[in-house]
Each structure stands twice: as C-alpha cells, then as structure tokens.
Amino acid sequence: MSTDALGNNITLRERASLAALNDFVEGFIASEARAANILQAQQDPSPLVQAYCAALHMFAESADAAANARPFLQRAQAAAAEADERERRFIAAVAAWVDGDLPRAIALHEEQALACPRDLVSLKLGQYHLFNRGDSPGMLRIALRAAPAAADVPYFHGMLAFAWEQCHFLDQAEASARQAIAMRRKEPWAHHALAHVLLTQGRLREGHAFLQEVSATWTGLNSFMVTHNWWHQALFALDLDRPEEVLAIYDGHVWGEVKAYSQDQVNAVSLLARLELAGVDVGDRWEDVGAHLAQRAHDHVLPFLDLHYLYGLARSGHTEQARGWLASIETHAVQCTGAQALVWQRVCVPAARGLLAHACGDWKTTVEALGHALPRMVEVGGSHAQRDLFSQMHLDALVKAGHLAGAQNLLQPQLRAQPESMRLRRQAAALYTALDLPSSLTNLR
C-alpha cells in the first residue's frame, strides 16, 4: 500500500497516479492551483482518486456541480470495497456533500479528525462546510482534534489560526498564524488568518504592511486564495483612505483571475460595494461583473453567495434579473427542507430583500429588512470581515433614512475599535455634523 504526502495510507491501482494525488493533497491544504492536477489521473479507478475528483467538481459551487461530481463519486463508491476505512469514510463524506446532506458530511469529517488526524484534506473540507454554516466553534473543535498528530505541518497551523480567529480568540489566532508562517513563509491561509486578526484589532497600518511584505509569495495559488488575500489588502487600504490603491488592487488582482468562479465574483461584488459605501466612484466596473453574474442560473448553493449575486446584478443595472433572483430565493426558501430551511427562510430572504432595496435606493426597506436579518447573519456563512458588508449597508441606510441616533449608536463603537480608520472617521464626522454635534467628537474614545 502507498502513502500520501502526509503519511496516510492510500489504495492505488495505478502507481503513476501518486504524483497527481499528492498534488491534490498538498495543493488543497496549501490553497494552490496544482490541486486540479488530480484530473490528470481521472482515468484511474482508485477510490480516493475518484473521490478527490468529485470533491474538486463540487468546489465549483455552481448549480451543476453535483451532477458533474456524481460520475466520479459513483466510481469511487464502486471501488470502495478495496479501500481502507479512512478512504471509505472520506468517500462517504463526499457522497453526503453531493447529496446535500451537510450534517452527515460534517459528522464524518469530525470522525475522521479523531481517527485519522493527519488526513488534513478531510479536516480542511470539514472546516469549509462548518464555515459555510456559520459554525466557527465546530471549525475550532475539528482542528484541535488533529493538533497532536499534525503539529509538524505548517498548513495545519493556518487552519487552526483561522478557526481561533472566527471564534474571537485573537491572541491564539495570531500565535497559530505566526507559527505557520515561521514554519513556511508561503502559507497564504495563515496570511489570511493574521490579516483577519490585525483588521479586527484595528492594527490597520501593520496589517497593510504585513500583506504587502508577503504578497510576493502569492504565486501558484488557486484563484480564490490570491484574489481574497488581495481583497484583504484592499480593505486595509480602504480604511487607510487610499482609494486609488484599492481601485488598482481591484483591477490588478481581485477581478480578472477566473471571472466565472463564484468566489472571485463575491470578492468583486463585495469590494465594489465597499468602495461605493466609502464614497468612491468605481466608474463602469460594475458592468463587467454584472455581465458575468447575468450568465448564472439560480444556483442557490449557498445563501452567502446568492446575496452577493443579487446585489451585484442590481448594482450593475440588471435590476429585473435581480428581482427574478430574489423571487427564486423566496421560492427556494419555501421548498428547502432540513436544517438549512430556516436559514434560507428567516435570514437569507429578508437579507436579500434588504440588499435589493439598498441597491435601488429604498432606504426604509433596507433598514427594516437588514435589521431583521443581521442578528442571525452568521448563519449564512462567510467570515466576520465578509459579513461586515451587510452591516455597512444597514448603517448607510440608517443615515440616509434619517435614523441618525441609531446610526451613531452603531458607528461610534466601530470607530472606537478602529481608531486608525480614516474611512470611519470621515463617516463619523459627517454624522456628527448632521446631528449638530462637534465633528471633533471623532477624536474622543
């Protein structure tokens, strides 16, 4: 029996597939594009090769992803009798994912973390599902289970760091991220986790300088990782009142890798929206994003994605298509069953109504709909930094609808936590002027 790059036993019918399999194992946990090399071995009927191919197709996060993954999954299941227990458990987890049974998939990945803690592909995939459900404690739990056995792997510490950060254990997150980077400077997921910490703690200049320093290592990454890390750099630049730099980052790094990919589209929509909320003219940049969003079917893979698609369509002038997407979300929410039904019905639907209203300048509806959704927004997935977009839109609508006292109640604590943010300082100064209060209050803590 062969072993993969992490020392896990693997069942291979064709020895020549080992390199492609290891490219997937190492590439997936390192956020590198070489993970797709597993498709070079897709003719090998080995069970894990086929399961990895199925997983790769599922990461398309599109309406047809499950159909594209299923033939590979079926071949993996057909060969499962020759696989060991670890491989069979992973195949079952992918099968649950393809079938839309995420609670079962997560349970299997958690079991794998206990039984086979060096199966970091399973660990990262489990964290992916937990993240998309807003279950950050689950992300931390599954990572801690693997800690004793995987401590020699830098990418493990990056996974642990992000879980710590999403659970608001910022000191632990920073320590884990810096440990990962000390072990391997090119560890983009650890860079990402540390960027989250520095943003949350208001260490904006430090965060900007850190990402600038390590950005030279962002080579050979998958499109999500490279665009998303640059997206984080853009957030630092935006708060530091460097709009031209943000636009340059958008044009050069955020929009242009794989424009048809869900995560690249989300990064683009989010950054353009934040620029506009900060008062920056984005020119005609919405048009190209909207053209790609208009080609999407009503995917409804993840509510977090749908919310961005809808807003991007509306802001790019595809208003009727955005209204159609909202109607489709509402229909899907009614038809949805299982644990996610309430998330679609009670969080995604009002949030979608609020976002469409914001894009159309209906501030009253934005305040009411987003105000209803925000307390439970964590359930749609995404990180704290990503979901902050929805809070910014709610705050913007409060101001424009004349709810100035409510806006002050939200904005001043943010400025207190982010004293380096020139963006928040400008917003607060304008708000205090509207409230007939001294703009110098922005200097008080």
What does DSSP say about strands 9-10 and 2-3: parallel, antiparallel, or unpaired? antiparallel
Query: Strand, helix or coil at 253?
Result: helix
Evaluate whether residue 301 is within a structural domain. no
Mean pLDDT of 214-231: 98
Looking at the domain assignment, is residue 428 inside a domain?
Answer: no
pLDDT tens-digit series, residues 101-140: 999 999 999 999 999 999 999 999 999 999 999 999 999 9
Lowest pLDDT segment from 68-72, 128-132, 243-247, 440-444: 440-444
- Helix (H) or strand (E) holding 371, with range, is helix 363-373
Residue 444 has a pLDDT of 82
Alpha-carbon distance 363 to 396, whole Å? 8
**pLDDT digits 0-9 by tens, 289-316:** 999 999 998 889 999 999 999 999 999 9
> Residue 294 and residue 296: Cα distance in Å, rounded?
5
Taking residues 165-177, report their average pLDDT.
Answer: 98
In this predicted structure, the answer to whether residue 1 has a pLDDT above a threshold of 80 is no
- Domain presence at residue 426: no
Residues 327-366 pLDDT 10s: 999 999 999 988 789 999 999 999 999 999 999 999 999 9
The whole-number pLDDT of residue 298 equals: 86
pLDDT of residue 439 exceeding 90 = no
Confidence of residue 371 (pLDDT cuts 50, 70, 90): very high
The dihedral built from the CA positions of residue 106, 110, 115 and 119, taken in this order, carries a sign that is: positive
Comparing CA positions, the residue from 275, 277, 274, 315 lying closest to residue 293 is 315
Q: Is 241 helix (H, G, I), strand (E, B) or coil?
A: coil
Instruction: Decide: residue 43, CB within 10 A, 0-12 exposed, 13-18 middle, 19+ buried.
Output: exposed
Mean pLDDT score, 172-195 = 98
Domain annotation covers residue 143: yes
- 19 alpha-carbon distance from chain centroid: 29
Residue with the two structure tokens 């994003």: 289
Range of the domain at 25: 1-150
**Count of helix runs (H) and strand runs (E) in the chain:** 23, 2
Q: For residue 335, tell me if it sits in a domain.
A: no
Q: What is the pLDDT of residues 76-97, one digit of tens each?
A: 999 999 999 999 999 999 999 9
| 426 pLDDT higher than 80 | yes
Residue 7: is its pLDDT beyond 80? yes
Residue 445: pLDDT over 80: no
Q: Does any domain span residue 98?
A: yes
Rounded CA-CA distance 337/101 in Å is 11
Q: Is residue 35 part of a domain?
A: yes
| Nearest-5° Cα angle at 250, 245 to 256 | 145
Contact at 8 Å (CB) between 302 and 289? no
The proportion of the chain whose per-residue pLDDT surpasses 70, expressed as a percent, equals: 100
Residue pair 383/136 in contact (Cβ under 8 Å)? The answer is no
* 248 has pLDDT over 80: yes
User: So what's the pLDDT on residue 202?
Assistant: 97
Largest CA distance in the chain: 76
Handedness of CA 356, 358, 361, 362 (dihedral sign): positive
- 57 within some domain: yes
Residue 375 has pLDDT above 90, yes or no: yes
How many structural domains are present in the chain?
A: 1
Q: How confident is the model at residue 57 (pLDDT cuts 50, 70, 90)?
A: very high
d(CA 293, CA 303): 15
**Residues 172, 242: Cα–Cα separation, whole Å:** 30
pTM of the model: 0.97
Helix axes of 363-373 and 384-400: crossing angle, nearest 10 degrees = 140
For the cut 80, the answer to whether the pLDDT of residue 35 exceeds it is: yes
Residue 23: both structure tokens together: 């490219």
